[in-house]
Amino acid sequence: MSESPRESWVEGANDPSGGFGLANLPMGIVALEGRGASVAVRAGKSILDCRTLVEVGLLSRLDRGTQDALAAKTLNPFMGLGRGAWRATRAELARLLAASTADLRDHAARSRAVIPEWGSSPRLPCEIGDYTDFYASVHHATNVGSMFRPDQPLLPNWKHMPIGYHGRSSSIVPSGTPVVRPKGQTVATDAGPPSFGPSRLLDYEMEVGALIGPGNALGEPIPVARALDHVFGFVLLNDWSARDIQKWEYQPLGPFLAKNFTSTISGWVVSLDALEPYRVPKPPRAEVDPAPLDYLKWDGDCVFDVNLEVLIASASMRASGTAPTRISLGNFTEMYWSVAQMVAHHTSGGCNLRTGDLLASGTVSGPTPESRGCLLERSWRGTQPIALGDGTTRTFLQDGDEVIMRAWCERAGLPRISFGECRGIVQPSR
């Protein structure tokens, strides 16, 4: 009986509940002691150092350009090569890790090329040039709109185009980086006057980020049917938000200091090829909704069946060993606007996306309270406190709180795909 191509000699890679088997193989950047930053691949409980694999000739089946990109200190050169190089690399890595292949398993450099997952420090997976945050969940937009504009929760343009704003790439940090509570202007009443000080209404936002591979030339839009060819993969993103600062500043030009202090992303980039089994047709719009304009219309449009979980652990919970409390569990299929539509709209006016650009989905919320992706919604603007495992409650985040985001794909008969975690602990203002 032949071995399954999904079986591996790497510890933990065959664990059906682990999510890091040969069907996944997400990529990132890790800092290795004595070696610096390196392109890496997660498999089971181990990490593959791609630079070492190139140096010892174990990736010689790949073309020279791909090998050079995999030996770089950032993923950008590899991301820019496009889907052909990505797929060839993924297939070759799966071959090297397969139980039936001894090339790497029995190689003298195995101990340098394959290291324990805990023996590395996560970095940002790439150099992020520009960052755009969308507002693409109809449940989130409706919930938030109803709090502040009960007579008109959705503005007239919302169902006609993906709404977004340009964020700040310099304050995007890897998972595990502390988050300092921001300061800014806030008001006690809508008319002011303002005072300056630490935000009292600090929030998280559960989002999915799409990292751009090959970009487009200035003035040349990306057609919606080709948009996903420009997406290297997905990460988790926590768009930390200061709701009291946001309320005062967002009119007339939108988010600014309430959003630019920190955004956290997970370290492993999950490819669209890994997510292909969980790709599902985009649900049809309600009959009362307007049809998308032609440049946003694609018969093959899709969403991805990704479970999205948010947990909170207070400082006292971590000290006592109390498990984090699940705050919400949603799914990425709930998006009104697809990733392809976001890319197409972003470039429709001629904007040029570049390799390493990050496009975020906006808060992913579902139709139930338990699936709402931020505390503003979960506590309904602070009126419905959420109980934690230490007996305390939260309407917004307190200093010492750790927000943990996880995501995975799982379905009977399909391999589990894990995104890992996106973590951050709130620190007092400085």
Q: Looking at the annotation, which residues are catalytic?
A: 140
Q: Could you tell me if 408 and 237 are in contact, meaning their C-beta atoms sit under 8 angstroms apart?
A: no
Q: Could you tell me if 63 and 57 are in contact, meaning their C-beta atoms sit under 8 angstroms apart?
A: no
Beta partners for 206?
Answer: 238
d(CA 377, CA 371): 10
Instruction: Count how many Cα atoms sit within 13 Å of the Cα of residue 272 in the half-sphere of its side chain.
Output: 23
Can the peptide bond before residue 252 be classed as cis, meaning omega within 30 degrees of 0? Answer: yes
d(CA 112, CA 140): 46
Q: Could you tell me if 203 and 375 are in contact, meaning their C-beta atoms sit under 8 angstroms apart?
A: yes
